[in-house]
A and B are shown apart, each in its own frame.
Chain A
Amino acid sequence: MSHREPSSTGLAQMVQVESQDLSALGNRAALAMCGADTSYRSFQAACQTILDGLHDDVEQVRLYLLDPVDRMLHEEAVVDHFGGQEGADLIPLYQLPDELTAKHLSVQHNLGEQWEILVPLPAQDQIAGVLALVCFQKLPPHLDEKILRLGRSLAVGALFVRRSREAERASTLLKAVTETSGKLQGLEGRNLLLENFVTTAVEAFGFDRATLFVFDDNGRKVKSAICARTGFGVFPLPGVPDLPPLSDKPAPHPHLPGLWIPIRMGSRRLGLLFVDNIYTLEPPSRDVIQPLVDLASQAALALENARLIERLRETALRDDLTGLYRSGYFQERVKEELANSRRRKDSTGLIMLDLDHFKEINDTYGHPVGDEVLLRVADRIRQSLRVGDTACRKGGDEFIVLVPHLNAEQAGKMAQRLVDEVKSSPVELPDGRKVEIGISVGVALYPTNAGNWQDLWTRADEALYLAKQAGRGQWAMWTPQAKMSLGG
């Protein structure tokens, strides 16, 4: 294709524009857009149809589609005599003259050797898009109406694509909600569930961020908060920011495009989701809000399920009477902590306790008083725990405490304190009599006294035996000599 010379009279000669039925050409091009493919390829086919029809008059054809949300014209395809490709240009609607966008008239401007004609694709009081034709000549006024007819025909195709894409978007959203909803019901760990939820809020709903605040069991204080931004996974917030007064219903942020969505189960608050566009400042699309609220309800249900499962698991791990851990779980904790201790290269203590003369208490006062005594000892143990310590009721009147970061001196002090505290906490009976309690305590340290959890367990037991042998109401630390005295 070579450039044509302008006519010697100065008047434009657009042979094909003049001779062709442009409505029919527009219809053929629009038909190319009305297939199953709603990608740029359908626009490319339409551009090609127009270029083929106006081959001698037009050097390049471009089609723009208006996005009514961002009010930008997105270049969909561009085709010239060398081929075609996906468009990349964006034109804010306001940058186009009113003649084109409001009055639906074509406009043209000089590009040097060529002229660019912008033709509106009218849609009621707006435009659905714009057709750009780069021509060798200026369009003479008498052909203006013909070229507008081309635009009117093409508008049908543009509107079809726009609606199809809207339907596709709605369908994608629905699919995302359904998938996430299914996942929420299937996921077992609460953290995984929450992470999935906030990630979906960003990835499927297109928000800049999603932040989820999870409340404690009373629904009063925020227990944890996580935030998602696409591309960076989910990360915990270092602190909990001030939250607005909580409402029962979704509430928009007063100053920013953002939405607070409460996550409730009945009247109980489980969490609060905040989705926002703090970086783009774009108002969220209206069609995403209700599905997101629905998803939050699903999340509430899943959260509640997870909470119940966690509670069941927790209950299964604990002793019915004292609420301390059962032996099975405790052993796992000991193994875990010794591995940590090995990494940290520090010492961990195992403290084993046994009530003195517990059988006599049971026999004298009966089992209800015996239970009261066990509860009192469990309380005293609980009070002596630091963060990270774990206590268990081994069975009967035996207890064990796992104490990380513990050296021999600290272990001795802790054991003595336990002996003293239990001794000073007699159980008072309804008739005013007091039941004195005493314990014997054995202590062993990892790695000083044992290289693995079984040996540590055995040595704490041996130390306890020594304390009993030594007269009860006291503590003993395991030493090799102590082992010898036991005949080991």
Chain B
Amino acid sequence: MPTQVGSRTGKLFNRAVTSFRKANPSVALELRVIPWSNAWGEIMRAFKQGEPPDVMQVGSSWMGTLAHLGHLARVPDGLDSRGLVADWVGECATINGVKLGLPWVVECSGLIARRDILDAHLKGGDLSSWKGFMSFCRDLGEHANKQEIDPRRPLPVGITCRPEPVTLHNLHPWLISGGWKLSELLGKGASQILSHKSSRPGLEYLGELLRVNRTDEDSGTIQPYRLSMDFYQEGRFAFLIGNPWMIVRNEIDPTASVESRWPVTFLPIPAGPAGLATRGGGSILAVSSRSRNQELAWKLVKNMIGPSFMDVWTQSSGDLPAHLGGFWTRNGEHPEIQRIRKSLEAAKNYPAHPMWATIERVLARGLSDILWSLLANQNLSEQGMSIAATVDEELHSILQLAWDRHP
């Protein structure tokens, strides 16, 4: 199997796929590892060059667009009927009633908190509401060491404003919790989407959080993996907004080579004026509609969602299996895993829209610009709303130009 010789993912995949290779000794597997930040572009390039992969790990929010483009093969009947960790997970893989992939791993956004900081400073404070969370962050911000990284006096929250989908993934629940009616507005083709008044409370809250956090060009542009390392290894922040992969990995394999140096715990995103909101996402395994090896490809997919593969995979990656049983049964009693599962069950995925893969990147870029504007202007000024209006114009252009639905 010609995967990358030195790649951690390649080695892990090799280990996890053993049973498939035993059962199909004549099949050559080639694994291509692509960073998430570039995966969409690479998948599209592969299709344009007429060389799409047989099996793809697809971000759950891309399914609508890949289906719209006709790039996905139908899942054969009866391939898998196991239960999923939440209903929305199955919905991500089914577009217009057609099952086009099998859910593989799931994630949900939340707060990862350093338990030592909570124990030392929270003192009965409330982190379940915007108000309580902001109050605690303000307190932490005032006492933070502004000169250097100091794990005992950390900055409140690890948060980046990079113009990438991960920024939208992390901050989208805050906007929804503030009342943003994204699905509804997009569904009815409203002229105002990001500039709609319902997005204001969330944007204003995030702006305040960034200021309390003393986010600057340096900390606001850290790439997500480094931000994680700054949190888990350096102790730079008290909270991290993101998915709880490290908690999962450490809980099931405390001897993992990269671990958190601090005790950490998973918390749901604090509830805003519109209540609690969690974004659910993950990966779907799909087969290219142009694959000449569809039968084998689905065999591999079935293997990859199976317990023998997932046990190896979850242990090393911290990715949560989409299917019930296995990991979920073994760790059902674990308080952290229970909290994560509760959040997963309550989560919602992005709106199912044929152009979502494009829309999410436009929204992410716009959100990033607005956050920087919020930092510079102290409030959601005309400049911030004018950025939002420009984003809306761009979104409408996309929707108007989406004329290529294949017959």
Residues of A bordering B, CB below 8 Å: 60, 62, 70, 72, 75, 78, 80, 82, 85-92, 94-95, 112, 116, 132, 134, 202-203, 206, 208-209, 211, 227, 229-232, 235, 237-239, 241-242, 253-256, 258, 276, 278-282
- Please give, as numbers and ranges, the residues of chain A lying within 8 Å of B52 by CB-CB distance: 231
- Please give, as numbers and ranges, the residues of chain B lying within 8 Å of A209 by CB-CB distance: 404
- Please give, as numbers and ranges, the residues of chain A lying within 8 Å of B31 by CB-CB distance: 88
Contact A278 B42 (CB under 8 A): no
Q: How far is the CA of A195 from the CA of B225 in the complex (A)?
A: 45
Q: How far is the CA of A227 from the CA of B41 in the complex (A)?
A: 21
Within 8 A of A (CB), among B218-252: 223, 225-226
Question: Separation in Å of the B76 CB from the closest CB of chain A?
Answer: 22
Contact A92 B404 (CB under 8 A): no
The interface stretch among B175-183, B317-325, B392-400 is: B392-400
* Residue-wise interface mask of B (82-105) relative to A, using a CB-CB cutoff of 8 A (1 in contact, 0 not): 000000000000000000000000
Given contacts A116-B6, A227-B404, 11 further A-B contacts (CB under 8 A): A89-B7, A95-B223, A112-B257, A202-B48, A229-B69, A238-B407, A254-B393, A254-B397, A278-B358, A278-B401, A281-B358
- Please give, as numbers and ranges, the residues of chain A lying within 8 Å of B37 by CB-CB distance: 92
Contact A235 B403 (CB under 8 A): no
Contact A276 B401 (CB under 8 A): yes
Q: How far is the CA of A232 from the CA of B52 in the complex (A)?
A: 13
B381 within 8 A of A: no
Residues of B bordering A, CB below 8 Å: 2-7, 30-35, 37-38, 40-42, 44-45, 47-50, 52, 65, 69-71, 223, 225-226, 257, 290, 355, 357-358, 361-362, 393-394, 397-398, 400-404, 406-407
Q: How far is the CA of A88 from the CA of B44 in the complex (A)?
A: 16
- Please give, as numbers and ranges, the residues of chain A lying within 8 Å of B290 by CB-CB distance: 231
Contact B393 A89 (CB under 8 A): no
Known: A95-B35, A241-B401. A255 touches B406 (CB 8 A): no
Of the candidates A60, A89, A235, A281, the one whose C-beta lies within 8 Å of that of B361 is: A281
Contact B33 A88 (CB under 8 A): yes
Contact B398 A256 (CB under 8 A): yes
- Which chain B residue shows the least CB distance to A236? B407
- Please give, as numbers and ranges, the residues of chain A lying within 8 Å of B71 by CB-CB distance: 231
Contact B5 A279 (CB under 8 A): no
Q: Which of B5, B30, B69 has the most CB of A within 10 A?
A: B5
Contact B403 A227 (CB under 8 A): yes
Of the candidates B30, B49, B400, the one whose C-beta lies within 8 Å of that of A241 is: B400
- Please give, as numbers and ranges, the residues of chain B lying within 8 Å of A75 by CB-CB distance: 4
Of the candidates B2, B401, B406, the one whose C-beta lies within 8 Å of that of A85 is: B2
Question: Separation in Å of the B360 CB from the closest CB of chain A?
Answer: 11
Known: A95-B225, A255-B393, A282-B41. A88 touches B4 (CB 8 A): yes
Question: Separation in Å of the B122 CB from the closest CB of chain A?
Answer: 34
Q: How far is the CA of A239 from the CA of B400 in the complex (A)?
A: 12
- Please give, as numbers and ranges, the residues of chain A lying within 8 Å of B358 by CB-CB distance: 278-279, 281
Q: How far is the CA of A87 from the CA of B226 in the complex (A)?
A: 24
Q: How far is the CA of A227 from the CA of B404 in the complex (A)?
A: 7
Contact A279 B225 (CB under 8 A): no
Return 24 A-B CB contacts under 8 Å, by A number.
Answer: A62-B6, A78-B4, A87-B4, A88-B3, A88-B4, A88-B30, A88-B33, A89-B7, A90-B34, A95-B35, A203-B48, A229-B406, A232-B70, A238-B407, A241-B401, A242-B400, A254-B393, A255-B398, A256-B401, A258-B401, A278-B358, A279-B357, A280-B44, A281-B358
Contact A92 B35 (CB under 8 A): yes
- Please give, as numbers and ranges, the residues of chain A lying within 8 Å of B402 by CB-CB distance: 278
Contact A89 B4 (CB under 8 A): yes
Question: Separation in Å of the A279 CB from the closest CB of chain B?
Answer: 5
- Please give, as numbers and ranges, the residues of chain A lying within 8 Å of B394 by CB-CB distance: 255-256
- Which chain A residue shows the least CB distance to B10? A88
Q: What DSSP secondary structure best describes chain B's contact surface?
A: loop
Of the candidates A90, A237, A280, the one whose C-beta lies within 8 Å of that of B403 is: A237
Q: How far is the CA of A202 from the CA of B71 in the complex (A)?
A: 16
- Which chain A residue shows the least CB distance to B51? A231
Smallest CB-CB A-B distances: 10 pairs: A255-B394, A255-B397, A230-B48, A88-B32, A227-B404, A280-B44, A280-B41, A78-B5, A85-B2, A80-B5
Question: Separation in Å of the B291 CB from the closest CB of chain A?
Answer: 12
Q: How far is the CA of A112 from the CA of B8 in the complex (A)?
A: 12
- Please give, as numbers and ranges, the residues of chain B lying within 8 Å of A276 by CB-CB distance: 401
Known: A90-B35, A90-B42, A254-B397. A241 touches B403 (CB 8 A): yes
Of the candidates A70, A239, A241, A280, the one whose C-beta lies within 8 Å of that of B40 is: A280
Q: How far is the CA of A280 from the CA of B48 in the complex (A)?
A: 11
- Please give, as numbers and ranges, the residues of chain A lying within 8 Å of B403 by CB-CB distance: 211, 227, 237, 239, 241
Q: How far is the CA of A281 from the CA of B395 in the complex (A)?
A: 12
Question: Separation in Å of the B181 CB from the closest CB of chain A?
Answer: 23
Contact B223 A90 (CB under 8 A): no
Known: A94-B223, A253-B397. A206 touches B35 (CB 8 A): no
Q: How far is the CA of A179 from the CA of B12 in the complex (A)?
A: 46
Question: Separation in Å of the B325 CB from the closest CB of chain A?
Answer: 32
Known: A255-B394, A279-B69, A280-B45. A211 touches B404 (CB 8 A): yes
Question: Separation in Å of the A53 CB from the closest CB of chain B?
Answer: 19
Q: How far is the CA of A92 from the CA of B41 in the complex (A)?
A: 12
Question: Separation in Å of the B25 CB from the closest CB of chain A?
Answer: 20
- Which chain B residue shows the least CB distance to A253? B397
- Please give, as numbers and ranges, the residues of chain A lying within 8 Å of B35 by CB-CB distance: 90-92, 95
- Please give, as numbers and ranges, the residues of chain A lying within 8 Å of B257 by CB-CB distance: 112
Question: Separation in Å of the B275 CB from the closest CB of chain A?
Answer: 33
- Which chain A residue shows the least CB distance to B405? A238
Known: A85-B2, A90-B34, A255-B397. A279 touches B65 (CB 8 A): yes
Q: How far is the CA of A227 from the CA of B402 in the complex (A)?
A: 11
- Please give, as numbers and ranges, the residues of chain A lying within 8 Å of B44 by CB-CB distance: 208, 279-280
- Please give, as numbers and ranges, the residues of chain B lying within 8 Å of A278 by CB-CB distance: 355, 358, 398, 401-402
Contact A235 B38 (CB under 8 A): no
Q: How far is the CA of A72 from the CA of B35 in the complex (A)?
A: 10
- Please give, as numbers and ranges, the residues of chain B lying within 8 Å of A82 by CB-CB distance: 5
Question: Separation in Å of the A199 CB from the closest CB of chain B?
Answer: 12
Question: Separation in Å of the A213 CB from the closest CB of chain B?
Answer: 11
Question: Separation in Å of the A58 CB from the closest CB of chain B?
Answer: 12
Q: How far is the CA of A112 from the CA of B32 in the complex (A)?
A: 24
- Which chain A residue shows the least CB distance to B41? A280
Contact A256 B41 (CB under 8 A): no
Q: How far is the CA of A202 from the CA of B362 in the complex (A)?
A: 23
- Please give, as numbers and ranges, the residues of chain A lying within 8 Å of B406 by CB-CB distance: 229, 232, 235
- Please give, as numbers and ranges, the residues of chain A lying within 8 Å of B7 by CB-CB distance: 88-89
Question: Separation in Å of the A94 CB from the closest CB of chain B?
Answer: 6
Question: Separation in Å of the B133 CB from the closest CB of chain A?
Answer: 30
Contact B33 A89 (CB under 8 A): yes
Q: How far is the CA of A354 from the CA of B47 in the complex (A)?
A: 62
- Which chain A residue shows the least CB distance to B391? A255
Q: Which of B40, B225, B226, B403 has the most CB of A within 10 A?
A: B403
Question: Separation in Å of the B300 CB from the closest CB of chain A?
Answer: 17
- Please give, as numbers and ranges, the residues of chain A lying within 8 Å of B32 by CB-CB distance: 88
- Please give, as numbers and ranges, the residues of chain B lying within 8 Å of A239 by CB-CB distance: 403
Question: Separation in Å of the A239 CB from the closest CB of chain B?
Answer: 8
- Please give, as numbers and ranges, the residues of chain B lying within 8 Å of A70 by CB-CB distance: 38, 41
Q: How far is the CA of A300 from the CA of B65 in the complex (A)?
A: 33
- Please give, as numbers and ranges, the residues of chain A lying within 8 Å of B49 by CB-CB distance: 230
Q: Which of B71, B402, B404 has the most CB of A within 10 A?
A: B404
Q: How far is the CA of A410 from the CA of B396 in the complex (A)?
A: 50
- Please give, as numbers and ranges, the residues of chain B lying within 8 Å of A132 by CB-CB distance: 6
Of the candidates A60, A88, A206, the one whose C-beta lies within 8 Å of that of B48 is: A206
Contact B47 A231 (CB under 8 A): yes
- Which chain A residue shows the least CB distance to B407? A235
Q: How far is the CA of A364 from the CA of B157 in the complex (A)?
A: 103
Q: How far is the CA of A231 from the CA of B291 in the complex (A)?
A: 12
Contact A230 B47 (CB under 8 A): yes
Of the candidates B6, B362, B401, the one whose C-beta lies within 8 Å of that of A134 is: B6
Of the candidates B34, B48, B70, the one whose C-beta lies within 8 Å of that of A208 is: B48
- Please give, as numbers and ranges, the residues of chain A lying within 8 Å of B30 by CB-CB distance: 88
- Please give, as numbers and ranges, the residues of chain A lying within 8 Å of B400 by CB-CB distance: 241-242
